[in-house]
Structure 1
Amino acid sequence: MEDDFDRLDDKIMEGSRSPVSGLDTAFAAGSAFGRRVVKNVFRELPAYLVVQSSWFMAFGLQMVLFPYLITNKLGLNGTLLGVANMALALPSVVFLLIGGVVAERADGKRMIMMLHFLAALPALMLAFAVDQEMLAYPLMVAYGVAMGTVGAFMMPARDSILNEVVYRRTKAGSNVTLQRGVAFATLAQFAAQIIGIVLGGYADKATTMPGFLGGFEIGPIASEELLVFQACVVGFGAIAALLLARGKQVKTGRSGFGAALGDIAEGFQAVKSNERLLVMTLSMFGVGIFVIGSFLVVLPIINKKVFGFGPDGIRDMYMTFWFGAFVSSVILSMMGNLKRPGRLLLSAQFIGAMVILVMLWEGIANYHEIFLGVVFVWGLAAGVSIAMSRTIVQAAAPAHQLARVLSIYQLGFMAGAPIGAFIMGVAVDTFGPYDIAFVPAVGLGAIVLWMVFFSPIWNMRADED
């Protein structure tokens, strides 16, 4: 589509070189062509947000159904849940860097379409297994490996194409900045996740609405039907991707077996040479260990062992978390460019670390509402943290190495996640769901303090090179 802009300029210049004949015709043709290009450009961002929403609505369903099938349907413990989540996250560590290289070389539009179709297949496999009463733990692990592999290629492809969408939209006269583009994408992500989480909470169990909403029941919805819906939703993203432009395909001049390794090495060098990128990547490794392990393992175990809830409880706590993230994203989307994004990022992460300490109180078992309030504040902080960290990284990364840099940044996050999931799974079975809350709170708090005093993030300005 960027080529369309160039052709539009050529048409206008062609008209200006014809002072006697064809001037009006050339300008009219150029004007019509320009209107078509601008129309196509302005529908790209909505299409991108639909793609984003379809993936994360399916992801929201997965967030509820995956732990529910393991802890409730199969009746397994925290250690096995941690291993299964490790299988879900580990492929990203293996394939994410390759995914970044492929995302730069491939047609981003076609790649996104293919990956959305592939992501539908594991959900259909689980739906068939549940329907035929063949569900088993090895199938859950296989599902995790499959989805983790697809996600490793999806993340850099989807995230890097946003920069191109914003660039083309700006060139067409829009005032959407990269920060606002990221905020819109984050907003779509959280809203879609909330919807997916809400739907997942109706798996195999009816839910009675509060009296002020009528007191009627919703559900139950068979878990296999929700898995089929998950497959359909993520598959729809491939259709929405038809409205995206092809995107740039980076040519590094390398070929042969060593080409991918050379490109990956270049990406690491870009991260290493930029202090902001290096610090953000290292900090995400710590976040993956201390936060994601708690989020994926400790919270579902608290839901079952402390409060005695099933999928409805998982739905409520995850919905509350992502609603908090949604609220903070709405606020960020209405704000202009922040002069000190690093300070907002680190403040949000520190608040998130401190609220986790409330879970040390064993009396919280009698106050589910307080627990959800803690989760909501945690979600508010997470929404700010996700949007600001992504904005900092995408603004600092070289344009021609964006997908590779994003894949390395995500690698820091994803490499910590399976480690954290396994550690938290074993620890929660050993020490219980209360005492273990001290570990992620102190770990994340230490990371924030290190970034404040020993990194440029706290004092950085958005307008700095």
Structure 2
Amino acid sequence: MTESTRVNKSIWRDSKFLAYMGSITFYSAGFSMQQLIISWLLVGVLVLPGDEVGLVQAAIGIPGLFLMLWGGASADNRDPRSILINVYAITWLFPLMLVVCIHYDLLNIWTILLFGLAVSTATSFSSPAQQAILTQVAGGEIQKAVTASTALMFLVQIFSLGFAGQMDNVGLSTVLTVQAGCILLGALAIMRLNKTAPLPQPADETSWQRLTNGFKATYNNKRVYHLLLINFISSVFNAGAFMTVVPFVVKRAYEGDALQLATIMIIFYLGATLTNLFMLRVMPIARPGRWFLLMQLSRVVILALLWIKPDWWLLIIAMFAWGLNMGVTTTLSRTIVQESAEPEFRARILSVYSLGLIGSAPIGAIVLGNIIEIFGTLEALIPAMFVSIILFIYGVFFSPIWNYVSPTSTIDR
């Protein structure tokens, strides 16, 4: 039996890793419903125009930009397990508060905004801690651990979105109650992990210095810096297109409902799940940076297909292909950051990584929301095509990502 085989088996027999995967299951179930709930409440229930939806989504996401860095610094300086337990123990109450608002006929743009802000704040603290714990329980198999956890999150999202898509039938209050229960179970699951001591930090380092040192560590690590820059710009137009443009495509171009939007999202995440299951079998990947950049370029074909407003069945295929694509880029970007980050700065660097993903959402929502209202719904997909081509060229010729070799690889560097 090879050393690699022994390591692979040990991951799945490690009680700490399995406990972490259990917490991921409930975490993903609760938080993945959030995207569909917010999108459909704004687009399908309140029927707001694209520019207003963009502003609301931006208002929900912007405060998390600053809190994400604080969350990363906290995860480096404290036990991340305790952070997750405390965050989950509070967050499960937020959906129930919105249920109360629905009961008293107070569902409006302001209550939706407050609900979104509350969950967004919780995510800002939970995401860096969650990723920091993954590194601790993964042992020497970072690529496989990242891929397995990502695949599980996508798989859970499929079932969660399928349920949340029934909100017109089972009732929004029922969906929100289930969301609250999932988040509470996530808190119980993470309690199975043991406390972990934070890595030694300078005794005289202030909270502000911890934040700025995280930025410095990210910038000084040129591989991580260029990856995060590409990922951020890509997310503004690509993830922004998925979160802001796709709900309008379903509502306006295809005259769909919440269930059809959920179907689109399920197909998307099904593709992402299958990609990760395939990568789990072929990992470790020697040159993850090359595949990450090639996926940027191939996305142009998928977006072009969506832009021509194909028949519904062809739209389904395009969304599945987009999910396959996104599954590769998401997992490989996380993998490269996890492998490249210095241990004492890992949570802070990961918080900057998450900051780029979350920060891109409000920017993309504002930009694409205005493009929708000025130029048309499908035209809002065009910028992502050009950006994807530019990012591929930049990544190949102006960054070290193309030539990056994973430390788990045996090929010559």
What are the residue-to-residue correspondences of 1:243-392 with 2, within 5 Å? Answer: 243-255=192-204, 259-362=206-309, 364=310, 367-392=311-336
Determine helix, strand or coil for the equivalent of 1:243.
Answer: coil
Distance 1:440 1:116 in 2: 35
Partner of 1:240: 189
Over the matched positions of the two proteins, sequence identity in percent amounts to 26
- Give the drift of 1:368: 0.7
Letter paired with 2:388: L
Cα deviation digits, residues 87-120 of structure 1 (max 9, x gap): 2321221111111001111221111111112221
Structure 1 position 57, deviation (Å): 1.2
d(CA) in 2 for partners of 1:432 and 1:52? 38
Match of 1:15 in 2: none
Given the alignment, which residue of 170, 184, 206 partners 1:221?
Answer: 170
Higher relative contact order (CA 8 A, sep 6+): 2
Equivalent of 1:166 in 129, 133, 138: 138
Question: Is residue 406 from structure 1 mapped to residue 350 from structure 2 by the alignment?
Answer: yes
1:109 aligns with 2:81: yes
Q: Give the Å deviation of 1:133.
A: 2.1
CA distance in 1, matches of 2:130, 2:149: 10
**1:431 positional shift:** 1.1
Shift of 1:444: 2.4
Count of aligned positions = 400
Residue equivalent to 2:6: none
- Whole-Å Cα distance in 1 between the matches of residues 334 and 185 of structure 2? 26
CA distance in 1, matches of 2:313, 2:62: 34
Cα distance in 1 for residues equivalent to 2:299 and 2:266: 17
Shift of 1:429: 1.4
Deviation at 1:348, TM superposition (A): 1.7
Partner residue of 1:418 out of 362, 376, 381: 362
Q: For residue 383 of structure 2, what is the aligned residue in structure 1? A: 439
Cα distance, 1:360 vs structure 2: 2.2
Letter of the 1:223 counterpart: L
Separation of aligned partners in 1, 2:269 and 2:293 = 19
Query: Shift of residue 263 of structure 1?
Result: 1.4
Alpha-carbon distance in structure 2 between the residues aligned to 1:137 and 1:451: 40
Check whether the contact 2:12–2:18 (CA below 8 A) recurs between aligned residues: no
Partner of 1:208: none
8 Å contact from structure 2 (residues 272, 324) kept in 1? yes
Q: Paired residue for 1:136, among 108, 119, 126?
A: 108
The farther-off stretch of 322-331 and 338-347 is 338-347
* Counterpart among 67, 70, 79 of residue 95 in structure 1: 67
Residues 39, 97 of structure 1: alpha-carbon distance in 2 compared, 3 angstrom cutoff: closer
Q: Which runs of 5+ in 1 are unaligned?
A: 1-37, 171-176, 205-219
Match of 2:166 in 1: 202
Report the AA paired with residue 56 of structure 2: A
Amino acid at match of 1:194: I
Q: 2:164, 2:180 → 1: CA distance? A: 13
CA–CA separation in structure 1 for the residues paired with 2:102 and 2:45: 10
Once the two structures are superposed, the pairs formed by residues 33-112 of structure 1 within 5 Å of their partners are: 42-112=14-84
Question: What is the CA distance between 1:247 and its match in structure 2?
Answer: 1.8
Partners of 1:109 and 1:183 in 2: CA distance = 21
Distance 2:247 2:85 in 1: 32
Instruction: Report the CA distance between 1:415 and its aligned residue.
Output: 2.2
1:193 aligns with 2:157: yes
Normalising by structure 2, report the TM-score: 0.93
State the alpha-carbon separation in 2 of the partners of residues 121 and 315 from structure 1. Answer: 24
C-alpha distance in structure 2 between counterparts of 1:286 and 1:154, whole Å: 23
Residues 279/303 of structure 1: CA separation in 2 closer, same or farther (3 Å cut): same
Q: Give distance in 2, aligned partners of 1:98 and 1:187.
A: 27
Is the Cα contact below 8 Å between 2:296 and 2:391 reproduced in 1?
Answer: no
CA contact (8 A) 1:289 1:416 kept: yes
Structure showing greater radius of gyration is 1
Instruction: Choose from 456, 461, 464 the match for 2:400.
Output: 456
In structure 2, stretches of 5+ residues that fail to align are 1-9
Cα shift at 1:226:
0.5
Moved more, 241-250 or 375-384: 241-250
Q: Which amino acid aligns with 1:312?
A: L
Q: Residues 186 and 329 of structure 1 are in contact (CA less than 8 Å); yes or no, is this contact kept in structure 2? A: yes
Corresponding residue for residue 178 of structure 1: 142
Q: 1:100-158: per-residue Cα shift (whole Å, max 9, x none)?
A: 00111122111111111222122112122223322010111111211111111111000
The AA in structure 2 aligned to 1:339 is: A
